[in-house]
Structure 1
Amino acid sequence: MRDPGQMDREHPDSAPMAEFLRSARSRLTPQEAGLDDPSLGRRRVSGLRREELARLAGVSVDYYTRLEQGRSRSASAEVLDALATALHLDDAERGHLHTLGRPRPQPARRRRPPPAPAPLLPPPQRVHRATWDLLDTLQQTCRPGFVLGRRLDVLAHNQLAGRLITDFRALPAAERNQARFVFLDPHARELYRDWTRVAADTAAMLRLDAGRHPDDPALSALVGDLSIRSKEFRRVWSDNKVHRRTTGTKDYHHPLVGDLTVTYQALTPGDDPDQILFVYGTEPGSPSETSLRLLAQWSRTAADTGSVTAQAPGAHD
């Protein structure tokens, strides 16, 4: 049970780390943590108790309680590593915990602070010309490719990616976002054969971005809008999980070419660490390769004109 006075003592900067720790602790069973001991007695919850996690991490129960109640703004790298190991966090989750636990500079105290300025929007992200050229090359080799930026904004894609997923260039600029597509577009539920997993991964990617950019007003607005409009988003967002895509597979049920499975690789193009280039491929000689080539052929003969990349005027450096 949370301390009744917790909300009065909780510091806003530490709340994300406190929520993440509570969520991770609740997901780890005693058996997974190596505490499968009959002497532990009956448990009201399936996750670890605070004192159990503190013992596994080698910290005092009081200190861990302060972290989980948001009464400590940061923790040392050694403590965060110990907690991450005790919680069995993967690399993305461990990095996220370190990001949340990093101390932030505090503004100097003033007797009469000036009015808070309006939050500044980050400058728009630009896709480098070399990345556009790479998307064109991928198109010629029958490989869908697209670039995601902060908040999972879709910054660019080649024509084949647009045919496989959706043509984001046809949407208003404010709606060119992967999370909006997954949770709000009915087509996404039919397109992804395992929509539930895709939805959970999408929310976890967005959560990772929120940890890196906690003061992004556009991200806060996006999360708020999705929370209002999608009960599924509210559910998976409350899980407090994080996810970083590197390589893997994804299953589609395309309305034109049917079922196909693609492999993907996530790369960081140029010098912007907040951009991710996703390159899709298929197993050589597989039915999925045939389906993707059929889709590419259909795209070439379809009645559309212009560049093979979804490039907006002035969208590159």
Structure 2
Amino acid sequence: MTEQPPELGRFLRARRAGVAPADLGLPLGAGTRRTPGLRREELAALAGVSIDYYIRLERGKETRPSPAVVDALGRALRLDAEELAFLRELAAQAARGGAHPRPAASTSRTVRPTLRRLLETVRPCPAYVLSRTNDMLAANPSGLALTPGMIDYPEKQRNTIRYTFLHPQARSLWPDWEVKARSCVAHLRAVAGSDPDDPELAAIVGELAVKSPEFSRMWERYDVRRVGNGQKTFLHPTVGTMTLSHEVMEINRMEGGRIVVYSAEPGTADYDAMVLLDMEGAGLLEGSCGARVLTVDAEQDADVEHGRSL
């Protein structure tokens, strides 16, 4: 039976396949290359290690690469800072070998009352709270209405990455759906680097791998990127086209939790679209569960004391 290479080996193989030899000044040689990207021997030479050592590393036979070797491989593969951090974490996991796994991080899903008040305060700006794996734990009215059809999911199934790949309205919502989808997958890869045994991660990855061929294809690319600030354009079916800036802020004492807030310059068409979106979202919530901030596990949240801060 053929052994599957470990995550470190899969990552190295995927990334060397994505590096064009010409970009590194390597000769293409005669004939057609059978291997996409870099050959093993080329990467080994660029990193200053023997080909035998590199093969053992990629196949999982060598599990304790030195920090210098890991960094040399990162430079040869032209990894950026975030990708290099991911490679270092995979190397650390390989060294642990599963004998002494790192304790799983806490995955609190409790949304504090102060966070819910903050979501209300920023209206009409769409805003929501996400878990480490992008479960939508709470949202203000425009935050919920920003992704049309999200309210049709049961509350505990509201996940922005599930929506991106599986909801029928998602592909028409973002004009650059492929870029958006790859960003989602890269975020999950980054989560996998820090906590590969997270059961919530395993659940969402397993579901999407079965249900979405596009997700499976992107997952095998091993792109790594935490989602940050920027702009997104939405082709919203009820309020029209709008381009919104977004800020992503980590939440204290909520491992991996983030609050995402979208905004637009007052007096612009984008801002007016946000106001309409907020009105639409308030109507959705009024019709489904009363006009309030959407919160998962609302009964549990009500027991959280009000004196805590972000």
Task: Work out whether 1:308 is the aligned partner of 2:297.
Answer: no
Contact conserved, 2:108 with 2:255, CA < 8 A, in 1? no
Q: Which of 13, 30, 34 is the matching residue for 1:41?
A: 30
Distance 1:210 1:68, change over 3 A: same
For 1:253 and 1:169, locate their aligned partners in 2 and report how far apart those are by CA, in whole Å.
18
In structure 2, the residue matched to 1:115 is none
| Partner residue, 1:90 | 80
Seen in structure 2, the aligned counterparts of structure 1 residues 78 and 121 have a Cα distance that, compared at 3 Å, is closer
Note if contact 1:144-1:161 (Cα within 8 Å) is conserved in structure 2. yes
Once the 2 structures are TM-superposed, how far is the Cα of residue 273 of structure 1 from its aligned partner? 3.8
Check whether the contact 2:165–2:212 (CA below 8 A) recurs between aligned residues: yes
The amino acid of 2:30's aligned partner reads G
TM-score by length of structure 1 reads 0.82
* Structure-2 separation of matches of 1:83 and 1:200: 24
Q: Secondary structure at the match of 1:165?
A: coil
Matched residue of 1:72: which SS? coil
Shift of 1:170: 5.7
Q: 1:18 aligns with which of 6, 9, 16?
A: 9
- Residue 68 of structure 2 corresponds to residue 78 of structure 1: yes
Q: Alpha carbon RMSD of aligned pairs, Å?
A: 2.7
Q: Residues 282 and 58 from structure 1, CA distance in 2 versus in 1: closer, same or farther, beyond 3 angstroms?
A: farther
Match of 2:173 among 155, 174, 191: 191
Alignment-derived partner of residue 205 in structure 1: 187
Q: Distance in 1 between matches of 2:285 and 2:258?
A: 30
In the TM superposition, 1:122-161 aligns within 5 A as: 124-139=108-123, 142-161=124-143
Deviations 1:134-190 (A, max 9, x none): 212222xx2211122132222222211101114756632441222211111112122
Q: Deviations over 1:74-95 (max 9, x none)?
A: 4232222221121111222122
Q: Is 1:57–2:69 an aligned residue pair?
A: no
Correspondences of 1:101-180 after superposition (within 5 Å) = 101-102=91-92, 103-104=95-96, 107=99, 124-139=108-123, 142-166=124-148, 171-180=153-162
What amino acid sits opposite 2:84 in the alignment?
R
1:252 Cα deviation after fit = 0.9
Normalising by structure 2, we get a TM-score of 0.84
* Paired residue type of 1:24: R
Structure 1: segments with no counterpart, 5+ residues: 109-119
- Where does residue 182 of structure 1 map in the other structure? 164
1:186 partner SS: coil
**Secondary structure of 1:150's partner?**
coil
Partner of 1:117: none
Residue number in structure 2 paired with 1:272: 254
Structure 1 Cα separation of the partners of residues 130 and 269 of structure 2: 28
Structure 2 residue runs without a partner (length 5+) = 305-310
Q: Share of identical aligned residues, percent?
A: 36
